[in-house]
Amino acid sequence: MLIFPKYFVERPSQTRLKHGILREYAGAWTGIISTGLQNQARKKPTARDIQFSFVYVDGFAGAGAYQRDAHQNVATGPIWGSPVIGTRQIVERLRGVPLTTSVSAIFCEASPEHHDALLHNLQEAPLGIPYRSIRRVAEAQRGEASVLQADFRSCSGEIARWLGNSYGLVLVDPWGSGMKMRDLAPLVGRKKVDTIILYPATDVKRFGSCASKSRAKLTPNDRSNLTRLNDLFGDERWQAIFADEYLVRPEDRESEALALYVQILTEVDPSLIVKTIRLRNSAVDRTSYYLVLTTRNESGALRMNSVLRTAEFREHFAVWADYEERERKKAEQHGVLSLGLEDEFVAPPAPPPTEFPASDVGDAIALRCGAGALTLRDIWRRLADDPYTEDEIRKGLRNLKERNQASFDRLRALGDTITLRV
């Protein structure tokens, strides 16, 4: 029998979206790395004798399961949380790969109630590797999931060191205040680690207003909020965004603050590629958080685009479904009986685009790359911060070739050469 503490009875739409992104990206991330390692092994047979270590880290693991999804009256079975989703995807993706691999995990949870529920629920979870409780990071062992009752903020540096030369995927989805940049940097800075970080857009916007006050007018709460955001960004640069409405318009502050956060992450390591996806509060249809995904692999960055495209599409209709459910409940409260014959409460808006036109992608390639000879890898890297997928970039290059602005023999291998004339 699973245990569902408060906040884990019903899984909200935002959490469902986050789980979908984690599920798809964990599988894609593992596949990209394992494919690259297999290619290396073909060239260097001795690589087959090396054990490659994969580690999933869940910094704020929760209880590990939910009873049902939002608006689901009857539970059809346990809904597993991020510790199970991330670990299981990596295990499943490596199954049958002709390499020697190990999969490990570290789950951190500060709440004693949630930690105990997680340990209990893992008894029934399809994790794919054994698990056990540990008291400190140094006790974690390779090939198993280690469950630690601790605040991830206080042990992230130790976990970063424990990762060593492993390939790591780290989920940073904190309760309450966001993760301090100084605690996040050791993980983001590791060369073989990808991260998925929750950026608290609502808190930044709400608490950021205190930066417009003079020092003499700051209340104790204002000073606390300044410290909180200084810690989140790692310095005081964010304050300029909120200090003067003539420098940054109020409606632009959210995007400017997010851009600064991304910039500060890349300052940890200039080779870092960063992607963002907004998570809207369906009750008020506004952005509450952003998921920030980091990688150093251009193939991973473009695969992120495919994941985000799918996530954006799902989020669009998840928000719409929540809206319709709220409207249905309001109608019931006012005694309005629905016979299923009338129109929907409001006509749904058009879904977001699922593919960019080849001509638009071709124009973007020309803008980012200019004239000259480049490999396909070079072009992928230069477009890594754009929203295009691998297939769309290939179509964009073919479009440039049709316009006599590019020449190439093929677009299969990353080393294939393309000459641009723009």
Return the domain boundaries, the chain.
10-323, 358-420
For tokens 């490990």, the residue is 104
**What Cα–Cα distance (Å) separates residue 5 from each residue in 67, 153, 172, 368?**
10, 23, 21, 50
Segment 235-253 shows an average pLDDT of 87
According to DSSP, residue 46 is labeled G
Say whether pLDDT at 344 is over 50: no
Q: Please state, in angstroms and rounded to a whole number, the distance separating the CA atoms of residues 78 and 132.
A: 21
Per-residue pLDDT band for 301 (boundaries 50, 70, 90) equals confident
DSSP 131: E
Q: How far apart are CA 96 and CA 114, in angstroms?
A: 34
Q: Region 82-99: what's the mean pLDDT?
A: 95
Q: Yes or no: say if 229 and 204 are a contact pair by the CB < 8 Å rule.
A: yes
Helix (H, G, I), strand (E, B) or coil at 69: strand
Q: Is residue 343 scored above 50 in pLDDT? A: no
Give pLDDT tens digits for 134-169.
Answer: 999 999 999 999 999 999 999 999 999 999 999 999
Provide the pairing of β-strand 51-58 with 10-11: unpaired
Q: Tokens 């999933």 belong to which residue?
A: 56
In the chain, what percentage of residues exceed pLDDT 70? 86
Q: CB–CB of 92/27 below 8 Å? A: yes
Residue 46 CA to residue 137 CA, distance in Å, equals 32
Exposure on the CB side of residue 118, measured as CA atoms within 13 A: 29
The rounded mean pLDDT for the chain is 88
- Write the CB contacts of 338 (distance below 8 Å, at least 6 apart in sequence): 328, 331
> Are 225 and 239 in contact, with CB atoms under 8 Å apart?
no
Mean pLDDT of 20-27: 93
The maximal CA–CA distance of the chain, rounded, in angstroms, is 73
**Above pLDDT 90, what percent of the chain?**
62
CA separation for the pair 278, 288 (Å, rounded): 8
Q: Give yes or no for a contact between 199 and 290, defined as CB atoms under 8 angstroms apart.
A: yes
Map residue 111 onto helix, strand or coil: coil
- Rounded to whole angstroms, the Cα distance separating 304 from 29 reads 9
Whether the per-residue pLDDT at 326 is higher than 70: the answer is no
Which CATH number applies to 10-323? 3.40.50
Domains 10-323 and 358-420 share a fold: no
Query: CATH number of the domain at 358-420, please?
Result: 1.10.10
Q: Which residues pair with 194 in a beta bridge?
A: 169
State which of 133-137, 294-298, 326-330, 383-387 shows the largest mean pLDDT. Answer: 133-137
Global confidence as pTM: 0.87
Contact predicate 285/267, CB 8 Å: no
The whole-angstrom separation of Cα 161 and Cα 184 is: 13
Buried b or exposed e, range 358-367, using 16+ CB within 10 angstroms: beebbbbbbe
Is residue 272 left, alpha or beta, with left meaning phi > 0 and alpha meaning psi from -120 to 50?
beta
pLDDT of 338 over the 60 cut: no
Which region among 4-18, 209-223, 280-294 has the lowest average model confidence (pLDDT)?
280-294
The sheet carrying 406-407 orders its strands as 372-375, 417-420, 406-407
Distance between CA atoms of residues 87 and 93, nearest Å: 10
How many Cβ atoms from other residues are within 10 Å of residue 84's Cβ? Answer: 27
- By the 8 A CB rule, do 40 and 47 touch? yes
Lowest mean pLDDT among 69-83, 96-110, 315-329: 315-329
Average pLDDT over residues 50-78: 87
